[in-house]
């Protein structure tokens, strides 16, 4: 019999979710919107420390509305993280904008503030920046915020992977003018699928709600002055979110424990864990490694991935940098110290970081990795 698969990051449900779903069923408040949506928005905004929030069908939808709120126009350059999931940057294209990719720094694997400065030298009229917190590790958000401010640019923070991570004592998802969360199935908490846009700007969130419900004017008949979208989260889905939010810090603690068990278990190998800034407290959504350059002749990430897969254990290459994606061929890429993103991609691997993984299972993962060297 094939043994139970160990996942990278799968949904972890607790039962509280069902209570809120049942409430919605009992009231026949199944769709759309409703009290679960209102409470989920309020509770999440309070948790993050941002004034207003709009619950949406996905993180990607939230990013799209953030790009619209930033007013990105046809042909306009947007400076964005390079080493990230494609959903961070696709919405720029939805609005006809042009991605310019900013290389990572080694300290957090996130957008390099120096490269961002260099990009503003080259594109001084740029008005929008999108920064992601990779694998739950906060970027140098205060520095990036200061650079955006000094150039009068709007900062969009993609905190899809970093819910509950803090940087200098402040929650990620609260640094941008517009902030994005995702509740996709593999994220720290999940609603099966969903996302949220957060901002202190009440008018912006009102506008996002308007766009997300087909831009329907507040009159009895269906009247529309703008193009709209069907992006709103349903009351059932929000019920799952309310239940999950009760467990967000517990999930964070488990992910942290997983990270440090890997760090300890792998410490004698020529590898490094994904690094973080000393003043941050990451959620360690995914534990990742890079193999030291001089050990790449002995073992590659692909060798480890295949060895794990043979034992029915999931691992995954690091996100392939955006400037290396065929779909973005020809886009500009700004770096200050070679191509850091490509280097991390080449030497890196995401390890199974599932909340339900037992210590015994994780030790098995560690033993398999050791056997590859
Ligand atoms: C998951 C993710 C998104 C997109 O969220 P969805 O809810 O899946 O649309 C955006 N950015 C990053 C960095 C992500 O990891």
How many whole angstroms separate alpha carbon 259 and alpha carbon 106? 18
Q: How far is ligand 1, taken at its centre, from the CA of residue 259, in Å?
A: 21
Q: From atom 5 of ligand 1, which residue's Cα is the shortest distance away?
A: 59
Lowest mean pLDDT among 19-33, 56-70, 169-183: 19-33
Q: How far apart are CA 157 and CA 16, in angstroms?
A: 29
Q: Of ligand 1's atoms, which has the minimum distance to the CA of residue 88?
A: 11
Top mean pLDDT of 18-22, 33-37, 317-321 is at: 317-321
Q: How many CA atoms lie within 13 A of 66 on its CB side?
A: 40
Q: List 77's β-bridge partners, or say none.
A: 98
Which domains are delineated in the chain?
16-245 (3.40.640.10), 248-371 (3.90.1150.10)
Calculate the average pLDDT of the chain.
97
Could you list the beta-strand ranges (E) of the chain.
52-56, 77-81, 98-102, 128-132, 154-158, 166-167, 170-171, 178-182, 195-199, 271-273, 280-281, 288-291, 316-317, 332-334, 348-350
The ligand 1 atom at the shortest distance from the C-alpha of residue 63 is: 10
- Beta-carbon neighbour count of residue 157 at 10 Å? 28
- Taking the CA of residue 187 as reference, the ligand 1 atom at the shortest distance is 1
- What spacing in Å lies between the alpha carbon of 116 and ligand 1's midpoint? 22
161 lines ligand 1 (CB under 6 A): yes
* Percent of the chain scoring above 70 in pLDDT: 99
| Cα–ligand 1 centroid distance for 195 (angstroms) | 8
Q: Where are the alpha helices (DSSP H) in 58-201?
A: 59-69, 90-94, 113-122, 141-150
Amino acid 24: pLDDT? 87
59 CA to centre of ligand 1 in angstroms? 5
The span from the CA of 180 to the CA of 350, in Å, is 23
Kindly report, residue by residue over 214-224, the tens digit of the pLDDT.
Answer: 999 999 999 99
145 lines ligand 1 (CB under 6 A): no
What pLDDT sits at residue 32? Answer: 66
Distance from the alpha carbon of residue 87 to the mean position of ligand 1, in angstroms: 6
Residue 256 binned pLDDT confidence (cut-offs 50, 70, 90): very high
Residue pLDDT, tens place only, 81-99: 999 999 999 999 999 999 9
**Pocket-testing residue among 57, 86, 138, 160, ligand 1, by greatest number of atoms within 8 A of Cβ:** 160
pLDDT at 25 over 90: no
Q: Is 179 in the pocket of ligand 1 (CB under 6 A)?
A: no
Which three-class secondary structure state does DSSP give residue 333?
strand
Q: How confident is the model at residue 77 (pLDDT cuts 50, 70, 90)?
A: very high
The 10s digit of each residue's pLDDT in 306-342 is 999 999 999 999 999 999 999 999 999 999 999 999 9
Q: Tokens standing for 181?
A: 């969360």
Alpha carbon distance 80, 361 (integer Å): 37
Cβ partners under 8 Å of residue 44, min gap 6: 53, 55, 181, 196, 198, 241, 245
Whose Cα sits closest to atom 2 in ligand 1?
160
Percent of the chain with pLDDT over 90: 96
Q: What is the pLDDT of residues 111-160, one digit of tens each?
A: 999 999 999 999 999 999 999 999 999 999 999 999 999 999 999 999 99
| CB neighbour list of residue 169: distance below 8 Å, 6 or more residues apart | none
The residues, any chain, with a CB within 8 Å of residue 372's CB and separated by 6 or more, are 299, 303, 304, 307
The order of strands in the sheet holding 280-281 is: 170-171, 166-167, 280-281
Task: For residue 171, list its beta bridge partners.
Answer: 166
pLDDT in the model for residue 257 = 98
Tell me what pLDDT residue 54 has.
98
CA of 1 relative to ligand 1 center, distance in Å: 35
d(C-alpha 13, C-alpha 238), whole Å: 14
pLDDT at res. 2: 62
Sorting pLDDT into bands at 50, 70 and 90, what band is 167?
very high
Give per-residue pLDDT as tens, 184-214: 999 999 999 999 999 999 999 999 999 999 9
Task: Enter the tokens of residue 38.
Answer: 């209102």
């Amino acid at each position: 019999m094939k043994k139970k698969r160990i996942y990278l990051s799968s949904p972890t449900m607790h039962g509280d979710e069902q209570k809120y779903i049942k409430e919605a069923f009992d009231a026949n408040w199944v769709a759309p919107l409703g009290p679960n949506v209102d409470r989920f928005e309020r509770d999440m905004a309070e948790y993050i420390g941002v004034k207003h929030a709009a619950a949406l069908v996905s993180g990607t939808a939230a990013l799209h509305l953030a790009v619209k709120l930033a007013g990105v126009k046809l042909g306009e350059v947007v400076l964005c993280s390079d080493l990230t999931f494609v959903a961070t940057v696709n919405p720029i294209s939805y609005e006809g904008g042009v991605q310019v990719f900013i290389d990572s720094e080694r300290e957090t694997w996130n957008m390099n503030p120096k490269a961002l400065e260099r990009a503003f030298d080259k594109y001084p009229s740029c008005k929008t920046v999108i920064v992601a917190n990779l694998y739950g590790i906060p970027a140098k958000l205060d520095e990036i915020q200061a650079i955006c401010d000094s150039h009068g640019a709007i900062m969009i923070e993609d905190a899809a992977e970093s819910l509950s991570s803090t940087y200098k004592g402040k929650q990620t998802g609260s640094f941008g003018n517009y902030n994005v969360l995702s509740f996709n199935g593999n994220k720290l908490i999940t609603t099966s699928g969903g996302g949220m846009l957060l901002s202190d700007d009440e008018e912006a969130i009102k506008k996002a709600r308007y766009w997300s419900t087909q831009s329907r004017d507040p009159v009895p008949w269906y009247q529309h002055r703008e193009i709209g979208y069907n992006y709103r989260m349903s009351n059932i889905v929000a019920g799952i979110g309310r239940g999950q939010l009760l467990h967000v810090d517990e999930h964070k603690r488990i992910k942290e424990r997983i990270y440090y068990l890997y760090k300890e278990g792998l410490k004698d190998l020529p590898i490094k864990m994904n690094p973080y800034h000393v003043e941050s407290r990451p959620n360690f959504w995914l534990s990742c490694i890079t193999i030291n350059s001089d050990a790449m002749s002995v073992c590659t990430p692909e060798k480890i991935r295949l060895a794990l897969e043979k034992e029915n254990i999931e691992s995954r290459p690091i996100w392939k940098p955006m400037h290396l994606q065929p779909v973005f061929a020809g886009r500009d890429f700004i770096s200050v110290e070679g191509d850091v993103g490509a280097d991390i991609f080449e030497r890196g691997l995401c390890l199974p970081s599932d909340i339900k993984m037992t210590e015994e299972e994780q030790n098995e993962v560690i033993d398999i990795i050791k056997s590859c060297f």
